[in-house]
Amino acid sequence: MSQLYSKKIVGYATYCISTLAVVMSQMPRADAASMTFSATGTNPISGGSSTALSAKAVFDDSIAGKLTLTLTNTGPGASAPSDVLTGIFWDYAGSSLTNLTLSSAKAPTVIKNNLTTGTNVDLTKVGGNTVEWGFAKTTASTGLGGANGVANPVTQHYGIGTAGFGISPGFGLSGGQQFNYGIITGYDSPNPAVSGGTFVKDSATFVFSGLPTGFDLTKIQNIRFQYGTGLDEPSTYYIAPPPPPKRVPESSATVALGLFALGALRVAKKKPLVSA
């Protein structure tokens, strides 16, 4: 084998291995998964053409040590404040998520009166200092129970919201005690409060850090979607058995290894190993 040919093979191999290392460093964990929960219901006091309510939550643990939640309003347009999706609560069947904290909350689009007023909005610091969505957790057996006298108290142990709901412990909101920055798909004969409000369009994404070792996504359960500003307003539940987790597709490392092997084979075929 000539010295020049050897250098070509070594150089190609070095390049492929370096590329493979980059791909592997950026790929999701092999055991990562996502789970989708959805629920429907009705709002009897909605003033629009439809009284339907519908929402979806997707939990994902593909980022090591983090839990991503995408919360989506999938129902018709909002007519009254009680049509606005303002919170979600859940339980975890494993050990308590003591160190779980909300690290980011983003809205791709924010609208007011059907006009876009912002994109990629940070819901933890709207206007620089106003917290519009907050996170609360408790290990108490009564969960995040509602204030005295409030019907339908929250029993779940984890939740995020843009309204206070009178729960204790609270969400740490500095300006989000109303339905503003709740999630809607659009408008359906909106009353003045809704037509003058500011809302997240369709969905928002929340990222939590501090997942414990051995976190099991399939143990998320007891999902409650909350609408309006009080716990006596409409809420819907996912009460069926947890859906099977959707596994992350096979790692791109497999593809990179295949390309590496194919490239090396092509280089080897270009010139015989023994020169005359």
Q: Are 205 and 88 in contact (CB under 8 A)?
A: no
Mean pLDDT of 135-141: 85
Helices H, strands E: what count in the chain?
3, 14
Reduce the DSSP state of residue 224 to 3 states and report it: strand
Reduce the DSSP state of residue 195 to 3 states and report it: helix
Task: List pLDDT tens digits, range 143-152.
Answer: 888 766 788 8
Task: List pLDDT tens digits, range 78-118.
Answer: 999 999 999 999 999 988 899 999 999 999 999 998 899 99
Structure tokens given for 220: 């998320």
Pure H helices in the chain: 3-26, 192-195, 252-270
For residues 231 and 159, give the distance between their C-alpha atoms in angstroms, rounded to a whole number. 13
Task: List pLDDT tens digits, range 180-197.
Answer: 999 999 999 999 999 999
**DSSP string across 198-212:** EEEESEEEEEEE-PP
**DSSP string across 232-262:** TS-EEEE-SPPPPPEEPPPPHHHHHHHHHHH
